[in-house]
């Protein structure tokens, strides 16, 4: 501890570092990740979690957090859960944590910024730790899309929608995807080629066992839809990857939103999915004190807004904003990139506009092949991205996603398991 503190003092006396040198410096007050795990991702409505309510999914993941980390639950002061679909999310995280073995002294809350909710939860816990409000906290993202989606039940007030951007907040996500494809000339061919690559990468990763260290098996009840018979099963693998998917097979699928356009399909859009992910955070000094493994350093995250009708291009606004704050170059400083594949239209746009090396982006496939449990994705990307950093022995991870109603969010992490 004394050497860590001396290092911190010396770093303040030394000339100011910038860029990669600054973010890779190790100080006792750094916010670090000591555990990053996720459930398998299951097909909504028909997959392994179709009979698993959100509360049980969260409860099961929280139990695995305690098992894997071996941390005294008394030390975890707050749990923040990203979730989109459930109005009862705050009830669920509190009750599930108590049932899983956390004490009554551990707080609980929920956040919802649509597809970035999991990352928003990580940012919330990290900020609390950084400010000294808590020492140890847990961020999770969880979604049962089997139980419900995020569609508006009624239009906004007439006075609100007199503003065209406010009115556009009511556009279905499929419509915004077609807007991106049409406005920026992202062809159906380009979208299907991108989607085929996502499926092929996910297949390769799953067959090679790359996902195995990310995933904690979940034991649950599965009901036979014909007989009603219930049996206990262990869900261990992602259900989204479709082996043998090709451009040609995807190109035969009919448009999913013909009323809005002809480019987005069920094959080149993210899958509707159930799943959850968890990130345990604390200061570096606390991790050393508790003998917890330091997986990565949380550097920061930011949000940016844009026109709701083209919400899909949000990462192209959020990523430059975050990197400019950190004096980093996307092409030369970033090793691994996870951008949520809400739709192939936005993924192709982001890839091209930001001039990303595709070999660095979504190496194990993305939401098109793996699925997109809305509130979980922001946390799931961190779990997957850090695992890939470890596999490749790379340092700098960037995650980002578009957000319904016209926003983008991005987060940056330094892998320390080289």
pTM exceeding the 0.85 threshold for the entire prediction: yes
Mean pLDDT of 363-389: 99
358 annotated active-site: no
Mean pLDDT of 82-94: 97
115 annotated active-site: yes
- Is it the case that residue 77 has pLDDT exceeding 90? yes
Instruction: Determine the number of helices (DSSP H) and then strands (DSSP E) in the chain.
Output: 15, 12
- Is it the case that residue 11 has pLDDT exceeding 90? no
Mean pLDDT of 83-108: 98
Q: CA Rg, the chain, in Å?
A: 21
- Is it the case that residue 4 has pLDDT exceeding 60? no
CA atoms of 402 and 407, how far apart (whole Å): 6
Instruction: Provide the pLDDT for residue 10.
Output: 46
CA atoms of 384 and 120, how far apart (whole Å): 17
Poorest-pLDDT segment among 15-24, 113-122, 234-243: 15-24
Distance of CA 231 to the CA centre of its chain: 30
Query: Cα–Cα–Cα angle for 175, 179, 185, nearest 5°?
Result: 140
Poorest-pLDDT segment among 1-5, 184-188, 381-385: 1-5
Instruction: Provide the pLDDT for residue 152.
Output: 86
Mean pLDDT of 55-79: 98
pLDDT band at residue 7, thresholds of 50, 70 and 90? low
- Is it the case that residue 225 has pLDDT exceeding 80? yes
CA atoms of 378 and 409, how far apart (whole Å): 9
The DSSP code for 275 is E
Instruction: Provide the pLDDT for residue 5.
Output: 53
Instruction: Provide the pLDDT for residue 13.
Output: 44
> Which runs of E-coded beta strand occur in 25-135?
31-38, 42-43, 78-82, 107-111
Mean pLDDT of 340-357: 98
Which one of the listed residues 80, 350, 372, 389 is annotated catalytic?
Answer: 372
CA atoms of 91 and 55, how far apart (whole Å): 9
By percentage, how much of the chain surpasses pLDDT 90? 94
* Exposure string over 334-363, b if 16+ CB within 10 A, otherwise e: bbbbbbbbbbbbbbbbbbeebebeeebbbb
Q: What's the whole-number average pLDDT of the chain?
A: 96
Mean pLDDT of 350-373: 98
pLDDT band at residue 16, thresholds of 50, 70 and 90? low
Which one of the listed residues 80, 350, 389, 402 is annotated catalytic?
Answer: 402
Which residues lie across from 231 on neighbouring strands?
A: 222
Which one of the listed residues 80, 115, 350, 389 is annotated catalytic?
Answer: 115
pLDDT band at residue 3, thresholds of 50, 70 and 90? low
- Is it the case that residue 182 has pLDDT exceeding 80? yes
Instruction: Provide the pLDDT for residue 151.
Output: 79
- Is it the case that residue 187 has pLDDT exceeding 80? yes
pLDDT band at residue 172, thresholds of 50, 70 and 90? very high
Poorest-pLDDT segment among 74-88, 140-154, 214-228: 140-154
Mean pLDDT of 345-373: 98
What separation in angstroms does the CA of 133 have from each of 123, 126, 128, 301, 311?
Answer: 14, 10, 5, 19, 34
By percentage, how much of the chain surpasses pLDDT 70? 96
């Amino acid at each position: 501890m004394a050497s860590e503190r001396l290092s911190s003092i010396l770093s303040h006396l030394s000339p100011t570092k910038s860029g990669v040198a600054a973010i890779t410096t190790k100080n006792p007050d750094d916010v670090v990740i000591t555990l990053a795990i996720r459930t398998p991702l299951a097909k909504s409505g028909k997959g392994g979690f179709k009979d698993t309510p959100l509360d049980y999914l969260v409860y099961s993941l929280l139990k695995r957090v305690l098992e894997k980390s071996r941390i005294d639950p008394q030390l975890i002061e707050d749990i923040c859960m990203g979730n989109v679909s459930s109005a009862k999310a705050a009830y669920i995280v509190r009750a599930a944590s108590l049932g899983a073995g956390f004490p009554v002294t551990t707080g609980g809350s929920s956040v919802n910024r649509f597809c970035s909710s999991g990352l928003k939860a990580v940012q919330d816990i990290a900020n609390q730790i950084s400010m000294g409000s808590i020492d140890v906290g847990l961020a999770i993202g969880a979604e049962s899309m089997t139980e419900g989606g995020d569609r508006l039940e009624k239009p906004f007030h007439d006075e609100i929608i007199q503003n065209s951007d406010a009115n556009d907040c009511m556009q279905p996500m499929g419509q915004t995807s077609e807007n991106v494809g049409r406005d920026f000339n992202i062809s159906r061919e380009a979208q299907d080629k991108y989607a085929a690559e996502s499926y092929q990468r996910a297949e390769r990763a799953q067959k090679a066992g790359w996902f195995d260290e990310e995933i904690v098996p979940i034991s649950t009840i599965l009901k036979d839809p014909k007989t009603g018979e219930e049996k206990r099963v262990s869900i261990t693998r992602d259900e989204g990857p479709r082996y043998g998917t090709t451009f040609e097979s995807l190109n035969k699928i009919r448009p999913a939103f013909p009323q809005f356009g002809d480019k987005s399909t069920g094959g080149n859009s993210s899958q509707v999915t159930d799943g959850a992910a968890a990130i345990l955070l604390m200061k570096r000094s606390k991790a050393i004190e508790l003998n917890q493994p330091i997986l990565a350093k949380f550097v920061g995250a930011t949000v940016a807004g844009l026109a709701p009708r083209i919400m899909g291009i949000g990462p192209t606004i959020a990523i430059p904003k975050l990197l400019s704050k950190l004096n980093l170059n996307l092409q030369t400083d970033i090793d691994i990139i996870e951008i949520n594949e809400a739709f192939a239209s936005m993924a192709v746009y982001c890839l091209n506009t930001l001039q990303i090396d595709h070999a660095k982006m979504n190496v194990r496939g993305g939401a098109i092949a793996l699925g997109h449990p809305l509130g979980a994705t922001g946390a799931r990307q961190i779990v997957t991205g850090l695992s890939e950093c470890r596999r490749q022995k790379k340092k700098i991870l960037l995650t980002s996603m578009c957000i319904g109603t016209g926003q983008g969010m991005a987060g940056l992490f330094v892998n320390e398991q080289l």
